[in-house]
Amino acid sequence: MADIETRPELMEKIVALAKRRGFLYPGSEIYGGVGSTYDYGPLGALLKMNVKQAWWKSVVERRDDVVGIDSAIIMHPKTWEASGHLQGFTDPLVDCKGCRKRFRADHLLEGESAGMPGLKERPKDIKEVRCPECGGELTDVRQFNLMFKTFMGPVEDEAAATYLRPETAQGIFVNFANVLQTSRLRVPFGIAQMGKSFRNEITPGNFIFRTREFEQMEMEYFVKPGTDEEWFEFWKGFMMDWFVSLGVKEENLRFQEHDKEELSHYSKRTVDLEYRFPWGWAELWGCANRTDFDLKQHAALSGKDLSYRDPVTGESYVPYVVEPALGTDRAVLTFLLDAYEEIEGGRTTTTESVKEVETVLRLHPALAPVKAAILPLSKKEPLAALAREIRDSLAGRHSVQYDDTGSIGRRYRRQDEIGTPYCITVDFDTPQDRKVTVRDRDTMEQERVPIDDLGPMLAEKVGI
């Protein structure tokens, strides 16, 4: 258990910053919140959009072998019979007989029971474990299906029962033949989509790490059987490279192979890219070799032929599938945690008596919700008009903020805390030379730049 390094205070700081600066709020807060839901505020919505855009660019736009779709959340109930979710998408549930708290048995075995009195090493059987909250006795394990059930139309009977999708992947499998017919793709090729998924999690928690409503960014890569292992290695490497290219520290990322007993019913092999979250290492992005399981199941239940015929070689087969599946909200949490830095004594204040801890969110410029802040040194003309002119010329191409309130140091600190990579100061020389000072968030270096060069400069610096 000693390997579990925890940084609970970091999580508290991120939650507080997220609320204070408008990244994330507790859902339905005015009614006291509802079951671990969160709403993205103005900055959070921008950050999440940038994360999705970065993923879409790398997985779809830059590749000529991947296309994107956007399928319905409510699917034909047979989908879930075929995929195995109706029968097997369950989590093992235990209740405490004393305090009535509910836990996932697998999580208790994995280490959430760490530090419990009487337990020297990680338990092998749930019977060895007692309630981590009150030490009470636990019930036997019951399997609990995670699908959210609802009814299509006005009558609430079994014939009208449908489910909110627990993964976006099935929307891709049921459209395999449609995409093949309407695009000129040849195996190997991928179909990607991002969107909401729903799971009635027993124990949601750790902020937006595990929620009941969340977003996924998934890609199903269809390959010739026999080439699946090679492609698996490719996409596994891609996952690590993507996070590192967006600034996440390599030492906070690692791969974790699933044991045979841990594998999902459809998987031949699964490797998780894990992040060192404040409570320990946990899954961020899973890569699974789903074989031909899904296509064969959907072919069997729908009666449609979902095999592939190579137009050049004439060979016919059901493709294997390699699936990198990432949670958008988990990615957002990872970027926030990894970017967070506190500087003791600050770096913008030189006066000893007012020195304080300063926060810098070192988000990759492509992910930062605000790309540049325009800061006139005076609210009066002619600086105000020039600053407005700059704001108007950049807005629409970049997300920018205008701030003319408070000392320049305080304004820098406000922007550092939300991760704005560039601050543009309009000063008393600007009316004469039509130049502004651009300050870099990370190096704090300042550069004098002509107003007309700002647009191209930002485009170059904040792109990916």
- Which residues contact ligand GAP (rule: CB under 6 A)? 167, 169, 199, 201, 210-211, 214, 216, 218, 283-286, 323, 325-327, 329-330
CB of 170 to ligand GAP, least distance (A): 8
The smaller minimum CB distance to ligand GAP, of residues 325 and 423, is found at 325
Please choose, from the candidates 53, 66, 23, 54, the residue with its C-alpha nearest in 3D space to the C-alpha of residue 41: 23
The smaller minimum CB distance to ligand GAP, of residues 146 and 179, is found at 146
CB of 197 to ligand GAP, least distance (A): 7
CB of 212 to ligand GAP, least distance (A): 7
Residues 6+ apart with CB under 8 A from 363: 47, 247, 335, 336, 339, 419, 421
The smaller minimum CB distance to ligand GAP, of residues 162 and 328, is found at 328
CB of 5 to ligand GAP, least distance (A): 21
The smaller minimum CB distance to ligand GAP, of residues 82 and 325, is found at 325
Any bridge partners for residue 68, and if so which?
A: 192
Distance CA 164, CA 79 (A): 11
The smaller minimum CB distance to ligand GAP, of residues 197 and 420, is found at 197
CB of 211 to ligand GAP, least distance (A): 5
The smaller minimum CB distance to ligand GAP, of residues 51 and 424, is found at 51
The smaller minimum CB distance to ligand GAP, of residues 275 and 340, is found at 275
CB of 208 to ligand GAP, least distance (A): 7
Please choose, from the candidates 167, 92, 94, the residue with its C-alpha nearest in 3D space to the C-alpha of residue 137: 94
CB of 213 to ligand GAP, least distance (A): 8
Query: Do residues 427 and 436 make contact, with C-beta atoms less than 8 angstroms apart?
Result: yes
On the question of a cis peptide bond just before residue 123, with omega within 30 degrees of 0, the verdict is no
DSSP code at position 267: -
Query: Do residues 61 and 160 make contact, with C-beta atoms less than 8 angstroms apart?
Result: no
The smaller minimum CB distance to ligand GAP, of residues 283 and 427, is found at 283
**Residue 39, SS3 per DSSP:** strand
The smaller minimum CB distance to ligand GAP, of residues 82 and 454, is found at 82
Pairing status of strand 66-68 against strand 189-198? parallel
Written as six digits, the tokens of 175 are: 């459209």
Exposure string of 153-182, with b = 16+ CB inside 10 Å and e = fewer, is eeeeeeeeebbbbbbbbbbbbbbbbebbee
CB of 333 to ligand GAP, least distance (A): 9
The smaller minimum CB distance to ligand GAP, of residues 201 and 416, is found at 201
Q: State the alpha helices, DSSP H only, in 93-227.
A: 105-107, 169-173, 176-182
Q: Which residue is nearest to ligand GAP (CB)?
A: 327
CB of 397 to ligand GAP, least distance (A): 32
Please choose, from the candidates 193, 215, 217, the residue with its C-alpha nearest in 3D space to the C-alpha of residue 40: 215
Distance CA 306, CA 317 (A): 9
Angle formed at CA 343 by CA 355 and CA 2, multiple of 5 degrees: 135
Distance CA 369, CA 367 (A): 6
**Cβ atoms within 10 Å, residue 35:** 12
Sign of torsion, CA 394 396 399 400? Answer: positive
CB of 219 to ligand GAP, least distance (A): 10
CB of 54 to ligand GAP, least distance (A): 16
The smaller minimum CB distance to ligand GAP, of residues 214 and 293, is found at 214
Transcribe 397-414 into DSSP letters: TB-EEE--SS-HHHHHHH
